[in-house]
């Protein structure tokens, strides 16, 4: 058994399962609502990548910040945002966590230091560095978790952000979710050192490593060490989590550029099924207990959909709120 598993009690180990099931069911239902035209705009599903959000975010303290990309439902839910306010945001309703103004890609909750999902690839990187600079300047005990996709590595601001984080020794953990694709482009075709992405930060003298992103306990273990080190003043760290999105880039993508064999290879590593198997094989939970958890999650998501449906749209006047300049 991994040290992370030995260090955790039954409740925490089972809770990883509950959380990952919630992320999975939430998005499966959100996809159905998209097909019905109730969720509009873009919808990027995190299905297949749940172990990263659950494992990584479990190592943070409430005062720590998170800044992430647009594939953000799992991160928001793992940070404890209520599924109701997240679903309402997808529906564009006033009760959503961003008052219905952001939608799927712009979930936000300052009360949980969840500083947003960002649609501009790499856009969250300088913001995370800024949050890290503020924490460091104010001598606050805060770590910033900056989650990025492999696609962000080829943005200029990636390098600017790494350099500033390194030179100022900021308390930022860069967690790269390498799901092997940026839209329809395989990482291998757009990034020269595709097998060793984590080494991209070597010129900045930022320590880095790679972890199995399909294994929630492996992510938890790696992140515990990383967050502890960063919190103790060790400066930034870059962790690459190897993963795969089971669906297309967004709901509009039939994902025809991937082979059935490749998809099957990764489906066998389904993080939710893997953790379920771990709990059963080690006698930590019974089939019946896990079934009950699954049912509870289904009900929670149904309730979230009802809440979103019944919530009002933003008032037309809301168009003039939160503007930087008077119209």
Ligand X SMILES: Cc1ncc(C[n+]2csc(CCOP(=O)(O)OP(=O)(O)O)c2C)c(N)n1
Select 95 or 179, whichever has its Cβ closest to ligand X: 179
Q: How far apart are CA 15 and CA 243, in angstroms?
A: 21
Q: How far apart are CA 134 and CA 307, in angstroms?
A: 37
* Residue 250, SS3 per DSSP: coil
What is the size of the binding site for ligand X (CB under 6 A)?
13
Select 89 or 150, whichever has its Cβ closest to Mg ion: 150
Residue 120 CB neighbour total at 10 angstroms: 13
Closest CA to 269 of 186, 209, 212, 187: 212
Question: Interface mask (CB under 6 A) for ligand X, residues 28-67, using x and -?
Answer: ----------------------------------------
User: Among residue numbers 93 through 122, which ones bind ligand X (CB under 6 A)?
Assistant: 119-121
Among 150, 215, 240, 270, binds ligand X (CB under 6 A): 150
Shortest spacing between CB 177 and ligand X, in angstroms: 6
Report how far apart, in Å, the C-alpha atoms of 122 and of each of 77, 125, 315 are: 21, 6, 32
Residues recorded for the chain: 327
Q: Which does 110 bind (CB under 5 to 8 A by kind): Mg ion, ligand X, none?
A: none
Q: Which does 175 bind (CB under 5 to 8 A by kind): Mg ion, ligand X, none?
A: none
Q: How far apart are CA 72 and CA 75, in angstroms?
A: 5
Select 71 or 220, whichever has its Cβ closest to ligand X: 71
Select 79 or 84, whichever has its Cβ closest to ligand X: 79
181 binds ligand X (CB under 6 A): yes
β-pairing verdict for 144-149 and 172-178: parallel
Q: How far apart are CA 264 and CA 108, in angstroms?
A: 34
179 binds Mg ion (CB under 5 A): yes
**Applying CB under 6 A, which part among 12-20, 25-33, 166-174, 178-186 lies near ligand X?**
178-186
Among 150, 221, 240, 270, binds Mg ion (CB under 5 A): 150
Q: How far apart are CA 294 and CA 319, in angstroms?
A: 39
**Applying CB under 6 A, which part among 93-101, 146-154, 231-239, 312-320 lies near ligand X?**
146-154
Among 21, 249, 275, 276, binds ligand X (CB under 6 A): 249
Shortest spacing between CB 151 and ligand X, in angstroms: 3
Long-range contacts from 198-201, C-beta under 8 angstroms, 24+ separation: 198/238, 198/239, 198/240, 200/153, 200/238, 201/162, 201/166, 201/174, 201/238
Select 119 or 134, whichever has its Cβ closest to ligand X: 119
Closest CA to 178 of 147, 201, 138, 202: 147
Q: How far apart are CA 15 and CA 21, in angstroms?
A: 10
Among 123, 149, 235, 248, binds Mg ion (CB under 5 A): 149
Residues of this chain that interact with Mg ion (CB under 5 A) are: 149-150, 179, 182
Residues of this chain that interact with ligand X (CB under 6 A) are: 71, 119-121, 149-152, 179, 181-183, 249
């Amino acid at each position: 058994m991994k040290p992370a598993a030995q260090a955790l009690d039954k409740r925490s180990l089972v809770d990883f399962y509950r959380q990952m099931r919630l992320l999975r069911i939430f998005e499966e239902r959100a996809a159905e609502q998209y097909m019905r035209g109730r969720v509009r705009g873009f919808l990027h599903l995190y299905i297949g990548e749940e172990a990263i959000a659950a494992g990584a975010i479990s190592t943070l303290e409430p005062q720590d910040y998170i800044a992430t990309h647009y594939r953000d439902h799992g991160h928001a839910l793992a940070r404890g945002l209520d599924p109701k306010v997240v679903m309402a945001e997808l529906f564009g309703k006033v009760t959503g966590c961003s008052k219905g103004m952001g939608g799927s890609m712009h979930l936000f909750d300052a009360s949980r230091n969840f500083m947003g999902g960002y649609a501009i690839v790499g856009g969250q990187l300088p913001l995370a560095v800024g949050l890290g600079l503020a924490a460091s300047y104010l001598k606050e005990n805060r770590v910033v978790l900056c989650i990025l996709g492999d696609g962000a590595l080829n943005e200029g601001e990636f390098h600017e952000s790494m350099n500033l984080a390194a030179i100022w020794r900021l308390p930022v953990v860069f967690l790269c979710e390498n799901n092997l694709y940026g839209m329809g482009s395989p990482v291998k075709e757009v990034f020269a050192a595709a097998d060793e992405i984590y080494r991209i930060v070597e010129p900045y003298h930022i320590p880095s490593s790679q972890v199995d992103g399909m294994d929630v306990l492996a992510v938890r273990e790696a992140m515990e060490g990383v967050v502890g080190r960063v919190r103790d003043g060790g400066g930034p760290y870059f962790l690459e989590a190897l993963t795969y999105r089971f669906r297309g880039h967004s709901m509009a993508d039939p994902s025809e550029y991937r082979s059935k064999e490749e998809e099957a290879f990764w489906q066998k590593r389904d993080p939710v099924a893997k953790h379920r198997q771990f709990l059963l094989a080690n006698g930590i939970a019974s089939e019946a207990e896990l079934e009950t958890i699954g049912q509870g999650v289904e009900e929670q998501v149904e309730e979230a959909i009802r809440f979103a449906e019944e919530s009002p749209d933003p008032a037309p006047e809301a168009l003039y709120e939160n503007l930087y300049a008077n119209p």
